[in-house]
Amino acid sequence: MSHNVTLDETIEVSRPLHEVFAYVSEFSRVQEWDPAVASAKKITSGAPGVGTEFQVDMRAGFSLQYLVEEFKANERMLMTVESRFFTACEEILFEATDEGTKLRYIAQFDFPAPLLALNKIYPSAMDRVGKTAMAGLKAALEDDFETPKESGWLAAADRLVLPGLWRFTKLGYRASRRGWKPVSAYQGNRHALITGATSGLGLAAARQLAELGARLTIVARDSAKAEQLVYELKDQTGNQDIHIQIADLSLMSDVHALADRLLAEGNAIDMLINNAGALFNPRQQTAEGFEKSFALLLLSPYLLTEALLPLLKMSTSPRIVNVLSGGMYTQKIDVDDLQSQHGEYSGSVAYAKAKRGLMILTEEWADRWDDIAVNAMHPGWADTPGVETSLPGFYRATKWLLRTPEEGADTIVWLAASTEAARVSGKFWLDRDQHPSHLSDRTLESQEERQRFLELLADLGESTRSGVQEGLRKSA
Ligand SMILES: NC(=O)c1ccc[n+]([C@@H]2O[C@H](COP(=O)([O-])OP(=O)(O)OC[C@H]3O[C@@H](n4cnc5c(N)ncnc54)[C@H](OP(=O)(O)O)[C@@H]3O)[C@@H](O)[C@H]2O)c1
């Protein structure tokens, strides 16, 4: 014998029907709004539809297997649920109203009689759980969350080195994510341009943005790799609006040509994600004569971002996300040696100095461009092919502490997509928290150094544009 328990809850939100449907039908995001859920994932490929399966792991220690049985876009979805303890049928009905959208959630649980007899309070407990989840969904859809403020406590911990470094690990990620808010902002009408999406963090960010429904343009240097990746992303996410631009971003001729193509296409860019990167040991120069760390990590995002300004200005909520590194904390910009020509070369130092330069640009662009949210982030230490090949010793020693690429990429996507991140600019982030951009006065540049740095980059922008390759001489 079994016993039925029915939940029937309705909420109304002032969001368009298609936005509500897009958010709720990607049911793997239930973990954002139902506090009883520890994690959830879609285990089938493609966009949600009949046959889609989700696995939902509950905080109470058991899993639910969801199967979408019926699916009508912007109207209704019906899912059956299997678990160790009960089966259920959950129906979600969507309806446009004058103010927005009405959502009705009907769940019918089928408990075996012994389980019910053991716990007579089950129905009321279930009812409470259902009400809490629906309140969470309403808050998620209202999407009115505060932008995280600078925290003196976090800044102090960063300065104590060990607590700061602990934050970079997967343990830091897990501690931070507890307070995170849902991201329900609709991305179906937004366009993200992302560099370095064929691997590691860029790939994880591209996948997350594709799942959110954004149009994607992936900038890659290897067309075969890019085509394979786009094929997989389209298959996994069901998002067919994914495009490729080929450019070797360490070559300024390629960067200018890329920008020209994008400007000629004339599509607005809502999210520009400067992520491509590598660490070079020993010192290398590009065919154009630039030191490679400087070229790829600093001059390239500088030229690309400045050139794409007209397309960013076409967006209603433009964002620029610069992917930096905690290594930046150790270095000051060296305006007299931007390309590591003097003294003994260290790939890590050249890398960190270039990231420091991109942080200065982040602050400068934020000051200059009022309507664009320009932010920088640090992904923590993530297990990516880049870390494994460029820092093998570090990788072996810390592998057990590294985050997944998805965890490292979370803040990239949050800065690009969330409503609250649009309200802040010029800051440095880790795990959706603001962190100081300097841990010591030793790394602060003077106003005069900053000015000279900006002039050098502007000169290089001009000279590379006009085909005059005087990189080494001008920036030395
Ligand atoms: N993983 C971490 O723990 C960590 C920590 C701090 C900062 N970061 C930063 O995060 C970003 C991504 O790093 P990752 O760890 O994900 O590294 P990754 O796995 O090596 O990915 C780097 C990406 O950049 C692309 N790229 C490299 N050189 C390029 C060039 N010349 N032109 C065009 N694309 C190029 C790569 O393309 P290919 O596939 O063709 O090689 C790849 O898609 C970098 O900016 C890195 O500095 C990472």
Atom of ligand 1 nearest to the CA of 274: 45
Nearest to 172 by CA among 181, 183, 180, 163: 163
> Residue 259 belongs to a domain with what CATH number?
3.40.50.720
List, in order, residues 6 or more apart from 25 with CB less than 8 Å away.
48, 71, 73, 77
Alpha helices in 143-180 (DSSP H): 152-159, 162-168, 170-177
pLDDT at 159: 78
High-pLDDT (> 70) share of the chain, %: 94
pLDDT (mean) for 427-456:
97
Nearest CA to ligand 1 atom 46: 277
Domain that holds residue 134: 2-142
Instruction: Let me know the angle formed at the C-alpha of 194 by 368 and 373, rounded to the nearest 5 degrees.
Output: 25
pLDDT tens sequence across 127-185: 777 899 999 999 999 999 999 988 887 777 777 766 778 889 999 999 999 989 999 99
Nearest CA to ligand 1 atom 36: 196
High-pLDDT (> 90) share of the chain, %: 85
> Residue 122 belongs to a domain with what CATH number?
3.30.530.20
| Residue 91 one-letter amino acid | E
pLDDT (mean) for 231-238:
97
pLDDT at 156: 79
Q: Which residue has the higher pLDDT, 86 or 337?
A: 337
Whether the pLDDT of residue 118 is over 80: the answer is no
The reply to whether ligand 1 has any atom less than 6 angstroms from the CB of 310 is: no
pLDDT (mean) for 257-282:
98
pLDDT tens sequence across 369-383: 999 999 999 999 999
| 160 and 12 together in one domain | no
| 397 and 438 together in one domain | yes
| 137 and 167 together in one domain | no
The reply to whether ligand 1 has any atom less than 6 angstroms from the CB of 198 is: yes
Nearest to 312 by CA among 366, 356, 390: 366
Q: How far is the CA of 120 from the centre of ligand 1 (A)?
A: 56
pLDDT at 475: 52
List, in order, residues 6 or more apart from 158 with CB less than 8 Å away.
164, 167, 329, 435, 436, 439
In whole angstroms, give the CA distance from residue 70 to residue 65.
16
Predicted confidence band at 470 (pLDDT cuts at 50, 70, 90)?
very low
Domain for residue 113, yes or no?
yes
Predicted confidence band at 472 (pLDDT cuts at 50, 70, 90)?
very low
Q: How far is the CA of 79 from the centre of ligand 1 (A)?
A: 39
pLDDT at 359: 98
Nearest CA to ligand 1 atom 8: 325
Least confident stretch, 2-6, 187-191, 215-219: 2-6
User: Which of the residues are catalytic?
Assistant: 351
Q: How far is the CA of 72 from the centre of ligand 1 (A)?
A: 40
Whether the pLDDT of residue 119 is over 70: the answer is no
Least confident stretch, 153-157, 237-241, 334-338: 153-157
In whole angstroms, give the CA distance from residue 371 to residue 406.
29
pLDDT tens sequence across 184-213: 999 999 999 999 999 999 999 999 999 999
Whether the pLDDT of residue 471 is over 50: the answer is no
Domain's final residue, options 81, 108, 142? 142
| 292 and 259 together in one domain | yes
| 199 and 75 together in one domain | no
